[in-house]
């Protein structure tokens, strides 16, 4: 029975119930009207108003599937051919048109040569992932034409330099658009003229007025003088006019809204989030893919009142960060897996001395040097076991680039309040990707909780005990140098006043008491971190479990599965320590079929979940080739597992990048 239609953004949904309203099933309205197999049929007016006529039994639909009305383009070439600049220009134009975007650059760790491929996807609604294919391909060399032409489907187009690139065999309905570059521009004066011509041609086919490109080019090249600006504008106009005369425009022009969005990389978002959280000291040794945090701090640190230092190695980094935190300021550092390995002993010092510090690990494909420019979720167990011995820690994985910002004040408040190390597990997909973010999410005045921090003189009635044994495990922390609050801090086990317990002999009772004091913080940390929430209908056919950056791709895969008649819900884990295992088991215990999705070989989160809760998922989808999931990878794997073919799916990345 059809019980409701509802409009969300530009998407229309139909809600059906076989019995009562609670537990209603939702289908894309276009699937209903189209009579798609496995979807109920109904005669519904798709221009209906925003209408709901049912109480959905307390089910939350706050985050909905995207409408799929997007436009994606791919630009590829060798390192040094200028792939990044047209990408930046497209991103700026899309943003100025009030559109969301999601961008990801696949590249090699070389300065010249090799292969670089940038994907930018845009749309009116939030763009959760880079998608499954492209609508427009701009190959800057033959290699890109040969590698990526297969990503185009009917209705797509390929704009290329007819002087140097031979067209490949495209799918039926793909428009091949050769540009006579040497005729349209003086390539002896401008070595990247093909890029600018392609920009103009692309925007003509998208239905974007030339003025939009002209203003962006003026901003992009303004520092190089009027002559350079004029040259690039003239070349772009030549490409624009040629495409207008010779090529068929895309079926739907690029939309435009009145919205305004910030476009951020994950690295910039984490740096800005740290600044918003009140960070006053940042240090790092450059290591991709975390170096962008250092770049932002170096550029903006002085204006933000942040002392920034590039240190000789990661051992120095973590100890310098702890030293600054001991001095009373919020302190942060960032690295990748190899550098984090060097930081682990220092994290133990943070735990023993109860000095809060936040370390970011932007994960890349390992082990060792691994694949420095590729993404992976392979460092979970490294973070879980960082340093030796037992101590409280907090580990979180941002869900998207906007969350890279909002997570930072949250984790700083927790580490400050409980005087322990915090670890942010980001990955290259988020760190170096770019996403449009609602400005309202970027709160530069978040709540700040420094915990039991003594920052000024007061009446000292009794001896100050830096490590006083308390019921919560949290002791009052005084900034060094405040009269009346002298204390000892070291990496050795100690008494309440900080004096070492093993100078003459080890007092076993004091050791036990101090260890138990520190570990009592775990209860408070658990209470401070929200429990994970199931997203989607509770009676879904499949529950997809992910953590960190797989969030958006899983959500988009769920939309595709819904169109195929397979209902899904999603449990995405943001806080890894504490895990809230009881809450997770309570949710998953009601699931019909559970599948864990993660970007690593061994199923690190699945093993962690099993070790903490004894829960074993029904299936697994794992990817460890260095590239992120595409939505269809998850869709095909779910169908494969529901058919009983396997319980472990390892999708193949179709194109070498």
Q: Out of 28-32, 88-92, 465-469, which region has the weakest mean confidence (pLDDT)?
A: 28-32
Residue 55 has pLDDT above 70, yes or no: no
Percent of the chain's residues with pLDDT above 90: 81
Contact yes or no for 39/31 (Cβ under 8 A)? yes
The angle formed by the CA atoms of residues 246, 163 and 220, to the nearest 5 degrees, is 75
Residue 30 has pLDDT above 60, yes or no: no
- Give the ranges where 207-225 is alpha helix by DSSP (H): 210-221
Helix, strand or coil, per DSSP, at residue 425: strand
Establish whether domains 70-246 and 263-441 are of one fold.
Answer: no
Helix, strand or coil, per DSSP, at residue 118: strand
pLDDT of residue 484: 86
List of residues 6+ apart from 401 with CB closer than 8 A: 264, 265, 266, 269, 430, 433, 434, 435, 437
Q: What pLDDT, in 10s, does the model give residues 165-191?
A: 999 999 999 999 999 999 999 877 777
Taking all residues of the chain, what is their mean pLDDT, rounded to a whole number? 89
Segment 628-636 mean pLDDT: 97
Percent of the chain's residues with pLDDT above 70: 89
- pLDDT-derived band at 460 (thresholds 50, 70, 90) equals low
Burial, 158: exposed, middle or buried (Cβ in 10 Å; 0-12, 13-18, 19+)?
buried
- CA–CA separation, 316 vs 306, rounded Å? 18
Dihedral angle, C-alpha 363, 364, 366, 372, nearest 10 °: -140
Segment 429-452 mean pLDDT: 96
Token pair recorded at residue 500: 């070492």
SS percent in the chain: helix, strand, coil, step 5: 35, 20, 45
Segment 21-40 mean pLDDT: 39
Per-position DSSP letters for 66-131, written without gaps between them? ----EEEEEEEEEETS-SHHHHHHHHHHHHHTT-EEEEEEE--S-SSEEEEEEEEEEESS---S--
Segment 572-599 mean pLDDT: 97
- pLDDT-derived band at 461 (thresholds 50, 70, 90) equals low
Burial, 60: exposed, middle or buried (Cβ in 10 Å; 0-12, 13-18, 19+)?
exposed
- CA–CA separation, 413 vs 615, rounded Å? 31
Strands ordered across the beta sheet of 619-622: 534-535, 568-573, 542-547, 594-598, 619-622, 648-649
- CA–CA separation, 267 vs 289, rounded Å? 8
pLDDT of residue 459: 60
pLDDT of residue 68: 53
Residue 601 has pLDDT above 80, yes or no: yes
pLDDT of residue 39: 39
Token pair recorded at residue 227: 């002559």
Q: Out of 266-270, 317-321, 480-484, 600-604, which region has the weakest mean confidence (pLDDT)?
A: 480-484
More confident position, 344 or 187: 344
CATH architecture under which domain 534-649 falls: 3-Layer(aba) Sandwich (3.40)
Pick from 12-26, 107-121, 278-292, 474-488 the range whose average pLDDT is largest: 278-292
Residue 364 has pLDDT above 60, yes or no: yes
Q: How far is CA 537 from the centre of its chain?
A: 25
Segment 82-94 mean pLDDT: 92
Token pair recorded at residue 57: 């039994």
pLDDT of residue 47: 32
Q: What pLDDT, in 10s, does the model give residues 203-243?
A: 999 999 999 999 999 998 988 999 999 999 999 999 999 99
CATH topology of domain 263-441: Rossmann fold (3.40.50)
Q: What pLDDT, in 10s, does the model give residues 1-18?
A: 333 344 333 333 444 333
CATH topology of domain 70-246: Pyruvate-ferredoxin Oxidoreductase; domain 3 (3.40.920)
Strands ordered across the beta sheet of 575-577: 307-310, 279-284, 330-335, 357-363, 421-427, 394-396, 575-577
List the chain domain ranges: 1-61, 70-246, 263-441, 452-529, 534-649
Segment 622-650 mean pLDDT: 97
Residue 626 has pLDDT above 80, yes or no: yes
Contact yes or no for 54/17 (Cβ under 8 A)? yes
Straight-line distance from the first to the last Cα atom of the chain, in angstroms, rounded to the nearest whole number: 48
Asked, as a colleague might, if the bond just before 317 is cis with ω within 30 of 0, I would say no
- CA–CA separation, 321 vs 304, rounded Å? 18
Asked, as a colleague might, if the bond just before 629 is cis with ω within 30 of 0, I would say no
């Amino acid at each position: 029975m059809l019980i409701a239609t509802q409009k969300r953004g530009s998407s229309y949904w139909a809600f059906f119930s076989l019995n009562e309203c609670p537990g209603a099933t939702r289908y894309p309205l276009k699937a209903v009207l189209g009579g798609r197999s496995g979807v109920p049929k109904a005669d519904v007016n798709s221009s209906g108003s925003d209408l709901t006529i049912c109480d959905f039994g307390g089910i939350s639909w706050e985050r909905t599937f995207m409408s799929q009305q997007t436009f994606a383009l791919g630009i590829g070439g060798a390192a040094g051919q200028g792939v990044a600049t047209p990408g930046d220009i497209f991103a700026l134009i899309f943003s100025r048109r009030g559109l969301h975007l999601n961008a990801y650059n696949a590249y090699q760790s070389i300065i010249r040569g090799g292969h670089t491929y940038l994907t930018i996807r845009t749309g009116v609604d939030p763009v959760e992932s880079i998608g499954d294919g492209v609508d427009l391909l701009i190959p800057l060399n033959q290699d890109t034409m040969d590698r990526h032409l297969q990503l185009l489907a009917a209705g797509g187009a390929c704009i290329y330099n007819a002087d140097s690139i031979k067209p490949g065999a495209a799918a039926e309905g793909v428009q091949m658009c050769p540009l006579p570059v040497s005729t349209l521009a003086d390539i002896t004066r401008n070595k990247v003229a093909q890029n600018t011509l392609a920009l103009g041609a692309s925007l003509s086919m998208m239905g974007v007025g030339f003025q939009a490109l002209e203003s962006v080019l003026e901003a992009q090249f303004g520092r190089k003088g009027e002559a350079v600006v004029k040259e690039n504008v003239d070349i772009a106009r030549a490409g624009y006019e040629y495409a207008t005369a010779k090529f068929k425009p895309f079926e739907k022009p690029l939309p435009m809204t009145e919205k305004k969005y910030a476009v951020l990389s994950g690295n910039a978002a984490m740096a800005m989030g740290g600044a918003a959280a009140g960070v006053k000291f940042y240090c790092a040794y450059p290591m991709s893919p975390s170096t962008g945090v250092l770049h932002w701090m170096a550029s903006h640190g002085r204006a933000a009142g942040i002392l920034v230092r590039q240190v000789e190695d990661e051992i120095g980094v973590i100890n310098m960060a702890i030293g600054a935190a001991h001095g009373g300021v919020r302190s942060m550092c960032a690295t990748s897996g190899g550098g984090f390995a060097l930081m682990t002993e220092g994290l133990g010092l943070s735990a023993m001395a109860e000095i809060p510090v936040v370390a970011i690990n932007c994960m890349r494909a390992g082990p060792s040097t691994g694949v420095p420019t590729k993404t992976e979720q392979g460092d979970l167990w490294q973070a879980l076991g960082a340093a030796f011995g037992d101590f409280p820690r907090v580990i979180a994985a941002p869900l998207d680039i906007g969350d890279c910002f909002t997570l930072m004040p949250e984790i700083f408040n927790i580490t400050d309040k409980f005087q322990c190390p915090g670890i942010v597990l980001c990955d290259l997909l988020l760190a170096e990707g770019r996403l449009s973010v609602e400005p309202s999410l970027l709160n530069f005045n978040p709540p700040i909780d420094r915990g039991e921090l003594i920052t000024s003189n007061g009446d000292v009635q009794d001896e100050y005990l830096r490590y006083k044994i308390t019921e919560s495990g949290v002791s009052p922390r005084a900034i060094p140098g405040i009269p009346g609050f002298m204390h000892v801090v070291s990496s050795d086990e100690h008494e309440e006043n900080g004096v070492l317990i093993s100078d003459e002999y080890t007092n076993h009772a004091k050791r036990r008491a101090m260890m138990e004091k520190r570990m009592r913080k775990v209860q408070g940390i658990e209470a401070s971190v929200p429990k994970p929430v199931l997203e989607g209908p509770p009676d879904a056919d499949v529950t997809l479990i992910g953590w960190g950056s797989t969030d958006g791709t899983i959500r988009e895969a769920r939309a595709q599965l819904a169109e195929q008649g397979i209902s899904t819900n999603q449990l995405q884990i943001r806080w890894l320590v504490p895990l809230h295992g009881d809450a997770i088991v309570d949710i998953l215990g009601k699931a019909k079929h559970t599948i864990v999705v993660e970007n690593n070989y061994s199923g690190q989160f699945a093993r962690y979940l099993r070790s903490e809760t004894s829960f074993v998922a029904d299936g697994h989808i794992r990817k460890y080739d260095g590239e992120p999931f595409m939505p269809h990878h998850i869709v095909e794997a779910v169908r494969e597992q529901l058919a009983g073919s396997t319980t472990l799916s390892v999708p193949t990345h179709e194109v070498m990048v």
